[in-house]
Structure formats: C-alpha cells, structure tokens
C-alpha cells in the first residue's frame, strides 16, 4: 500500500462492511503460503504487562515481500473494558509503504482479529479435513467461537454441530449461529463430542487439557486455536503426539502454541511439525489417509492481521469509503 495520497483511515464499522469471510480466508491462505516459501516473515512478538489497568499490551509485526505488505498490529487486553461497554481485546493495525516506510493506513483490528483467526482454522479444514466430514465439534463458546463456526461451516458439507463448553450457559451463542446457517445443534459431553465429530475446533482460554486422546476417533481433524500463550493448553499432549501436526508458524507452535507441552515432554520434536503453508504450496501432501488424525496448531501470527488489514484498506480505497488524512 503506497502513501502517495495520504493516510487511509479504516474504522471498525468499515472493516465489518468490507471484509467478508472468503476474503479473509483467501488473504490468510496466501500469506501462510508466502511464509512457508520464505517470501513473508514475522518479527519477534512484544507482549508486556503494563502495570496499569491490569492491561497486557504488545506488538505483532511482519513483512510480506510477495504481497508487499509491511506493518504492525498494536494492542492487547484491558480486562476492565467490559464495564465500559468496550471489547476487552483492543487492537489497531498500522500499514506502511514498503518502498518508503511512510505510514499508509490505520485499520481497526478488533473485528479483523476475529475473522483472521476464524480464517486460519478454516484454511486448515479446507486443506486437512476429510472430504466426507459431516459433524463439526466446537469446544469453546466465547467471542471467537461464533466466527470460527461460521467460517468452518463453509469448508465442508457439514450437517450437524456438537458443542461443549466449560461454561455451558454460553452455548446458546453457538446454537443460534448453527440454526442461522441451517445446521443441527447438540450440546454434548466432551467424550460424546470426540465420538461424533469429524472436525473439532478448540477455542478456549484453558490451561489444562479439555480433550483426551482416547476420545478422538480416527480420521478427525482438529484445529486448536485457543492456545496462544505459554502455559495455555486445550488438548492431551498424547493427542498431539498421535496426530500429524501442522501449524501457522513452527517457532510459535513449539513455544506458545498447543504443541508446547508435547515438545517440552519430548513426545514430539520440532521437525515433526509442518507449516500449513507447505501444504498450501503443494510441498507437503497434508492428510495421507482417511484414518489419520490431523491437528492444526493455530497460534496467530502478525502477518495474518496485516493480510486482512491490507484487504480492508484496499477495498476501502477502491470504494472511496475511507477517510484520508495528510501525513
């Protein structure tokens, strides 16, 4: 994105209006491919406790040379926001002209974080789930879960959603989405979810396993999306060890992703984890049998944020809808 015509400002409402699920899936798939081929890379993540307002604050940054996208997502978590009628997670994307370093766009990052995270698991389902998958299992029923369900549902001809959440009172959120998109819905136990689901998404803030290896049937694809910090965990490390493991970025998977626990215990080694971009690029076959369990460790990388923000900025510019400010 060039900055010749001044700074583009694309707010949250405009992002919602302009960036749909398919555009997010296309952008995320393309940048995962570029990351695996070395044409795009993420920079080290900064995340700090501010010691003020209980807030966590940080930066995720990267450069996609193939897509010509340079920028940073800045933001974090302010737990007191809900009381002020604001989202606890707050972020903004800054895009820069890769030729000059000038700021080219400011893009609201809250909605885009949810769609880019949902796009990530959706890309994994598109490439790794069995074609005949019929039952989608959801573990988690928070803010992200509805986005996850909508994007996943578009990847296979699912007939039914089975769901479990540690706080069952949150499950109506998923029941409502399932009904809206014409899928049956059933609230089930964790074991029953494993027994029925062909594809499972985990999207919780858990710090201990919620799904055990023995509960998962052969041929399942799992997208583990909640674990994005050291110490978090959603599934049994034995399940990670039993699965063929894919990720957005190996460096994050082994340190802050779901694979961290299996790596720490020595059950899995780093070279057993494949970037999903290698499958996208045709350099790895992905799933090789109907019985194989595949697991995508979606840790969330800055380049996903930049990819969808760049789509928002381009579409807003083309439609003449964004505000412009002089630099």
Among 166, 172, 218, 231, binds ligand NAD (CB under 6 A): 166
Q: Which of 75, 143, 81, 66 is nearest to 107 (CA)?
A: 75
The footprint of ligand NAD on this chain (CB under 6 A) covers a number of residues equal to: 23
The DSSP H or E segment spanning 185 is strand 184-187
Neighbouring-strand partners of residue 323: 9
> DSSP string covering 16-55, please?
HHH--HHHHHHHHHHHHHHHHHTSEEEPPPEEEE-SSTT-
CB 18 within 8 A of CB 312: yes
**Encoding tokens for residue 251?**
């460096």
**Encoding tokens for residue 194?**
């494993």
Q: Would you say 62 or 300 has its CB closer to ligand NAD?
A: 300
Is the Cα torsion angle 128, 132, 114, 162 positive or negative in sign?
negative
Shortest Å, Cβ 5 to ligand NAD: 32
Residue 299 as a binder of ligand NAD (CB under 6 A): the answer is yes
CA distance 109 to 91: 5
Shortest Å, Cβ 40 to ligand NAD: 17
> Taking CB under 6 A as the criterion, which residues in 183-212 touch ligand NAD?
203-207
Residue 217 as a binder of ligand NAD (CB under 6 A): the answer is no
Catalytic, 232? Answer no
Among 47, 65, 167, 324, binds ligand NAD (CB under 6 A): 167
| Length of the chain counted residue by residue | 327
- Catalytic residue of the set 73, 160, 230, 232: 73
Residue 30 as a binder of ligand NAD (CB under 6 A): the answer is no
Q: Which of 229, 203, 204 is nearest to 47 (CA)?
A: 229
What phi and psi, each to the nearest 5 degrees, are found at residue 47? -145, 120
CA distance 199 to 289: 15
> Taking CB under 6 A as the criterion, which residues in 101-140 touch ligand NAD?
113, 117, 140
> Taking CB under 6 A as the criterion, which residues in 36-95 touch ligand NAD?
none
Residue 145 as a binder of ligand NAD (CB under 6 A): the answer is yes
Residue 168 as a binder of ligand NAD (CB under 6 A): the answer is no
Q: Would you say 170 or 251 has its CB closer to ligand NAD?
A: 170
CA distance 130 to 109: 32
> Taking CB under 6 A as the criterion, which residues in 221-280 touch ligand NAD?
225-226, 228
Shortest Å, Cβ 252 to ligand NAD: 9
CA 158 vs. chain centroid, Å, equals 20
**Encoding tokens for residue 202?**
């985990």
Residue nearest to ligand NAD (CB): 142
Shortest Å, Cβ 327 to ligand NAD: 31
Residue 142 as a binder of ligand NAD (CB under 6 A): the answer is yes
Shortest Å, Cβ 122 to ligand NAD: 12
Residue positions annotated with a catalytic role: 73
- Give residues in contact with ligand NAD (CB under 6 A): 113, 117, 140-145, 165-167, 170, 203-207, 225-226, 228, 298-300
């Amino acid at each position: 994105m060039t900055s010749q015509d001044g700074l583009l400002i694309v707010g949250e409402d405009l992002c919602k209006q302009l960036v749909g699920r398919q555009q997010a899936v296309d952008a995320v798939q393309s940048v995962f491919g570029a990351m695996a081929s070395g044409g795009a890379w993420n920079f080290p993540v900064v995340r700090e406790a501010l010691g003020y307002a209980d807030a966590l604050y940080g930066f995720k940054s990267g450069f996609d040379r193939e897509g010509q996208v340079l920028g940073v997502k800045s933001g974090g978590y302010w737990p007191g926001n809900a009381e002020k009628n604001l989202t606890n997670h707050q972020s903004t994307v800054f895009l820069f002209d890769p030729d000059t370093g000038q700021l080219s766009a400011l893009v609201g990052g809250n909605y885009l974080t949810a769609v880019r995270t949902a796009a990530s698991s959706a890309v994994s389902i598109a490439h790794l789930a069995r074609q005949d998958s019929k039952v989608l299992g959801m573990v988690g029923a928070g803010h992200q879960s509805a986005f996850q369900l909508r994007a996943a549902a578009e990847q296979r001809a699912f007939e039914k959603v089975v769901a479990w959440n540690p706080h069952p009172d949150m499950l109506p959120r998923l029941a409502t989405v399932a009904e809206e998109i014409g899928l049956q819905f059933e609230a089930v136990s964790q074991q029953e979810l494993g027994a029925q689901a062909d594809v499972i998404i985990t999207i919780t803030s858990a710090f201990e396993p919620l799904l055990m290896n023995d509960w998962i049937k052969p041929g399942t694809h799992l997208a583990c999306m909640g674990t994005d910090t050291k110490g978090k965990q959603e599934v049994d490390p034995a399940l990670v060890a039993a699965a063929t493991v894919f990720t957005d970025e190996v460096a994050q998977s082994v340190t802050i992703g779901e694979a961290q626990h299996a790596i720490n215990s020595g059950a899995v080694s780093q070279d057993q984890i494949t970037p999903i971009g290698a499958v996208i690029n045709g350099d790895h076959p992905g799933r090789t049998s109907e019985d194989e369990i595949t697991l995508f460790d979606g840790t969330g990388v800055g380049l996903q944020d930049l990819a969808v923000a760049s789509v928002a900025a381009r579409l807003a510019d083309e439609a003449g809808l964004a505000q412009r400010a002089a630099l």
